[in-house]
Structure 1
Amino acid sequence: MKKLFDIIFFKYETNNDFMCVFFPLDTARLRLQVDENRKAKSTPSILAEIIKEEGLLAPYRGWFPVICSLCCSNFVYFYCFHCLKAGWQRGNKSSSSADLIIGMAAGVVNVLVTTPLWVVNTRLKLQGSKFRNADIRPTNYTGIWDAFVQILRDEGLGALWNGTFPSLLLVLNPAIQFMIYEGLKRQLRRGLPRELSSVEFFIIGAVAKAVATIVTYPLQTIQSILRFGQFNESKDKSKLLSSLRSIKCLLVNRVRKYGMAGLFKGLEAKLLQTVLTAALMFLLYEKIASCTFRVMGLNKNVYEKH
């Protein structure tokens, strides 16, 4: 439990650096998710198309707002976590399970507070794109603030929280990832008198993230479509029912048009981005933890049992 919490913290700390490196992969993934008529090709082919049609810097469109949003998201997460933990510790004993629950609660607050930023980021990243779908309406935002103003004016306040429900469900993604990672690590360590190698840590980190990404990818597809805002919204009076029915309609329509593969368009780019990020993150975490314990003269295995 404690290690899960430590890795989630480490993930937040390293996410900004890795996002800078793998940002074009996220661009390719997003294009395939929202542009239904764009044919799914290999990631290099998609990026080559984007560069040819829109310029060399097109894969990095929206980079600065995304990095700013990641910084805000990290701040909200850690601030909420420490506030919730401080309140909990006034009358209760601290424990790993409590840290995990508080961490998930902080994740939910983070989603609710920062979703408007990610809605705006999605719009800015896609602005100026050469879409294959002629029904997509072009936008004309001059920046983050202008995007907020136009969305509020044209679509209403609720539009800034499009995609919130899938985002809340995706809070579980790190738990799925860690469960698989620890299970694979235990299997590999059976009968081995030595520490796992860097390559082995990299591989099991990659496999764990790949499985977690594949399991949750349809939700990520729906999240992107909802944030983009160009879909037929349900007219239910209840916001919850409207959100649930929109998600259901988007899932059903996507499957009807393109089969199950339609829910996984852009998966290759997403896997390349998240798997490489997660594998490097786990590798760095294990190496840093191992070096730290050696310097402190402690046995790492004792720590991992807690």
Structure 2
Amino acid sequence: MSKSNALVNGLAGAGGGIVAQIITYPLQTVNTRQQTERIAKKSAVISDALVSSSAGGTFMQLLQVIRSDGWGGLYSGLKPSLLGTAASQGIYYYFYQVFKNKAEAIAVSRKKRGRGDGTVGMFSWLVVAAIAGSFNVLLTNPIWVLVTRMQTHTQAEKKIMEAKRDAILREANESGLRDLSPFQDKLVELNSTKAHPYGTLHAAQEVYCEAGIQGFWKGIIPTLIMVCNPSIQFMIYESSLKYLRAKRTANKSGFKNVTALEIFLLGALAKLGATVSTYPLLVVKSRLQAKQEIGKNNALRYTGTLDAIIKMIRYEGLPGFYKGMSTKIVQSVFAASVLFMIKEELVKAFTILAVGSRKVLLNKVE
């Protein structure tokens, strides 16, 4: 029964995750671009205030993506992202339910021995979510590396073209030649260069050429540390849900069911707390997974997690770790709320179908 329960939760989590991902994906694309934008200390605070920290700024960036890349630009990397979401939510909820069942069994066993009240405590929820999250991260990180590359490809290519153009102009100024036609020809050739199609296979080939197989696990360290994000999220969610159900049980009216709207609000509250506390790690992860800048500017290239953190502090200051946080809060809170609501409804539907099928089989046997 516990295994089938875990499977139901895994399938429901995958279904809810896919719907939430499709609805909020444009915001996710903009947020990834905000996170990977490099801005010096002097202008970081101003830029974050004007662009990343306001709903208006997010809306303007959505329009900017549409102008430069078309409507399809908002959904760049959607296919691998949907695969990643289905895999992540399915794997996460499956292992979460497996270890949740074990934790509940241990709690009941402890109660029989006269220790505890038979319920799972906050720390146990934290451990359960962390273990499930670790399995999820190790198995699905390659997919999210490709998604990040595809979301930031146009942005990276634009910066590469700008760096090449600056190099040509710098060479022209340093040469001191009166005849600048050779440099003009280079600029014309550069401006006429068309962007090549960039899909999932192109992103995978690019990652492999840059760093080999290990490149698909870029950002794994901050991502593993970020396992505390869903841990905090589920600790808040499960604790709040437990409190609400206990309150309903104690209510004389006898109404015990938690509504879909209440699940939505609990999911929003849980994700908000988790996102605010772990956002800097998300920025570091995105920086490592995005295409590294070319050129001689070493400040724009990261060799690892610690190198990225040190350079971000040195060149961008603390505001660099919170770029696009307002966009992420809106996207992740709404996505988590939709996910929880749909997941709970799917679990109910699967349970009703299972009970109905069991009754049909019993009637046939009789």
The question of a shared fold, defined as TM-score above 0.5 by the shorter chain, is answered with yes
Q: Which protein has the larger Cα radius of gyration, Structure 1 or Structure 2?
A: 2
TM-fit CA distance, 1:226:
0.6
TM-fit CA distance, 1:12:
3.4
Could you tell me whether the CA contact under 8 Å between 1:104 and 1:171 is conserved in 2? yes
Could you tell me whether the CA contact under 8 Å between 2:13 and 2:93 is conserved in 1? no
Q: 1:28 aligns with which of 21, 24, 30?
A: 30
Question: Deviation per CA, 1:139-159, whole angstroms, max 9, x where unpaired?
Answer: 956432333233323333332
Higher helix fraction (1 or 2): 2
Q: Secondary structure at the match of 1:36?
A: coil
Which residue of the partner structure matches residue 232 of structure 1?
301
Which residue of the partner structure matches residue 183 of structure 1?
239
Which residue of the partner structure matches residue 302 of structure 1?
none
Amino acid at match of 1:267: M
2:269 matches 1:211: no
Cα 1:266–1:182 change in 2 (3 A) is same
Mapped to 1, the partners of 2:202 and 2:347 lie a distance apart of 44
Q: 1:122 aligns with which of 143, 148, 152?
A: 148
TM-fit CA distance, 1:178:
1.6
Amino acid at match of 1:250: A
Could you tell me whether the CA contact under 8 Å between 2:65 and 2:74 is conserved in 1? yes
Which residue of the partner structure matches residue 82 of structure 2?
67
Amino acid at match of 1:276: F
TM-fit CA distance, 1:81:
5.0
Question: Deviation per CA, 1:42-71, whole angstroms, max 9, x where unpaired?
Answer: 321221222223323211112123223334
| TM-score normalised by L of structure 2 | 0.61
Which residue of the partner structure matches residue 46 of structure 1?
61
Q: Which runs of 5+ in 2 are unaligned?
A: 40-46, 107-124, 165-194, 293-299, 356-366
Mapped to 1, the partners of 2:146 and 2:137 lie a distance apart of 14
Amino acid at match of 1:26: Q
Which residue of the partner structure matches residue 102 of structure 2?
95
Cα 1:7–1:276 change in 2 (3 A) is farther
Could you tell me whether the CA contact under 8 Å between 1:80 and 1:109 is conserved in 2? no
Question: Deviation per CA, 1:150-199, whole angstroms, max 9, x where unpaired?
Answer: 33233333322210111212233222112112333455564755445544
Cα 1:12–1:103 change in 2 (3 A) is farther
Mapped to 2, the partners of 1:167 and 1:69 lie a distance apart of 14
Which residue of the partner structure matches residue 201 of structure 1?
263
Mapped to 1, the partners of 2:267 and 2:131 lie a distance apart of 25
Could you tell me whether the CA contact under 8 Å between 2:129 and 2:230 is conserved in 1? no
Which residue of the partner structure matches residue 237 of structure 1?
none
Cα 1:162–1:135 change in 2 (3 A) is farther
RMSD of aligned alpha carbons: 4.1
2:306 matches 1:269: no
Amino acid at match of 1:65: P
Could you tell me whether the CA contact under 8 Å between 1:35 and 1:132 is conserved in 2? no
Amino acid at match of 2:231: A
Cα 1:178–1:78 change in 2 (3 A) is closer
Mapped to 2, the partners of 1:226 and 1:163 lie a distance apart of 5
Mapped to 2, the partners of 1:136 and 1:65 lie a distance apart of 29
Q: 1:163 aligns with which of 185, 210, 219?
A: 219
Which residue of the partner structure matches residue 173 of structure 1?
229
Could you tell me whether the CA contact under 8 Å between 2:16 and 2:343 is conserved in 1? no
Mapped to 2, the partners of 1:74 and 1:291 lie a distance apart of 18
Q: Number of paired residues?
A: 274
Q: 2:206 aligns with which of 146, 150, 157?
A: 150
TM-fit CA distance, 1:206:
0.6
Cα 1:283–1:142 change in 2 (3 A) is closer
2:311 matches 1:253: yes
Q: What percentage of residue pairs aligned between the two structures are identical?
A: 26
Amino acid at match of 2:85: L
Cα 1:233–1:36 change in 2 (3 A) is closer
